[in-house]
């Protein structure tokens, strides 16, 4: 246990100093992590407006292992339920282990107005402080929009924590405030090119780009890269069998190592 704690004490500061992305929000399988304008499917806890594209109920479970360290893993369940007036999305994510963990729960509402989509999400963030203080909790939001400016181009915008929420602990822990702007260029009916810029307040700008290629209805290939002061390549594949979907995503951080993500989805 002492060895594990020592390793985490070494890695967790590096995650913050690297400035690559907020660790509170779980990852996605979008190429290059460029999820702001992605229209394939809603990526839980990213742009909430993307949930408006769902035409039927979607369920998913996702596991993300960061740097081959079990204690730095995300476990998430999510669902989207369409209604006649708007789509309802919900997700719950757990990060960490018994000595230190964070939880993020979200409920969102989105609507497609024909050519443009908007979404708003309420988030509850909980962090384990100590055996005596237990958990500290705060509430924040996630807002987003997507606009189809032409049949070939979609613009996306999202902002996490626009209310600048913080955890009232000692010392006070500020949640990241992240703004993302992206473009999805539908180069071909089988190929999408995604480009995104985002920034956490007080950190570097992050650039993200990637391609998604769908040679067959049941198979998708994704490749991309993202970074701030250095580049992180990503590679992933997706399979569809009847109503089931499996997505696999990998990336290589040259300083911290490999991250792997797997997601299993079911369409009702």
Residue 228, domain extent: 2-267
Domain count, the chain: 1
Flag whether pLDDT at 88 surpasses 90.
Answer: yes
DSSP state letter for 126:
E
CB atoms < 10 A from the CB of 72, how many?
A: 21
100 with 173: CB under 8 angstroms? no
pLDDT tens-digit series, residues 92-126: 999 988 778 899 999 999 999 999 999 999 999 99
Q: If you average pLDDT over every residue of the chain, what do you get? A: 88
What pairing do the DSSP bridges indicate for beta strands 205-216 and 191-200?
A: antiparallel
Least confident of 40-54, 105-119, 120-134: 120-134
pLDDT band, very low/low/confident/very high, at 23 (cuts 50, 70, 90): low
Q: How far apart are alpha carbons 201 and 174 in whole angstroms? A: 11
Q: What is the CATH number of the domain that holds 165?
A: 2.40.160.40
Flag whether pLDDT at 39 surpasses 90.
Answer: yes
Helices (H), 110-229: none
CB atoms < 10 A from the CB of 251, how many?
A: 22
Flag whether pLDDT at 207 surpasses 60.
Answer: yes
pLDDT tens-digit series, residues 145-190: 999 999 999 999 999 999 998 887 656 678 889 999 999 999 999 9
Question: Closest Cα to residue 232, out of 211, 206, 195, 213?
Answer: 206
């Amino acid at each position: 246990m002492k060895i594990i704690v020592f390793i985490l004490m070494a890695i967790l500061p590096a995650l913050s100093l690297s400035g690559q992305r907020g660790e509170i929000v779980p990852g996605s399988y979008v190429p290059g992590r460029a999820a702001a304008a992605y229209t394939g499917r809603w990526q839980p806890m990213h742009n909430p407006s993307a949930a408006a594209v769902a035409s039927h109920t979607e369920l998913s479970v996702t596991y993300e292992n960061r740097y081959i360290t079990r204690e730095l893993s995300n476990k998430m369940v999510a669902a989207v339920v369409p209604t006649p007036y708007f789509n309802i999305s919900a997700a719950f994510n757990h990060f960490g282990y018994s000595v230190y963990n964070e939880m993020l729960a979200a409920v969102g509402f989105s609507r497609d107005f024909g050519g443009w989509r908007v979404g708003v999400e309420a988030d509850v963030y909980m962090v384990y402080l100590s055996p005596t203080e237990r958990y500290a909790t705060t509430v924040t939001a996630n807002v987003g929009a997507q606009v189809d400016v032409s049949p070939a181009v979609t613009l996306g915008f999202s902002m996490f924590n626009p209310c600048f929420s913080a955890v009232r602990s000692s010392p006070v822990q500020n949640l990241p405030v992240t703004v993302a702007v992206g473009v999805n260029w539908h180069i071909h009916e089988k190929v999408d090119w995604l480009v995104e810029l985002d920034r956490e307040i007080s950190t570097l700008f992050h650039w993200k780009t990637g391609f998604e290629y769908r040679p067959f209805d049941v198979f998708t290939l994704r490749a991309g890269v993202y970074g701030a002061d250095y580049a992180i390549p990503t590679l992933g594949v997706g399979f569809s069998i009847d109503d089931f979907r499996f997505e696999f995503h990998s990336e290589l951080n040259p300083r911290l190592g490999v991250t792997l993500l797997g997601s299993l989805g079911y369409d009702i």
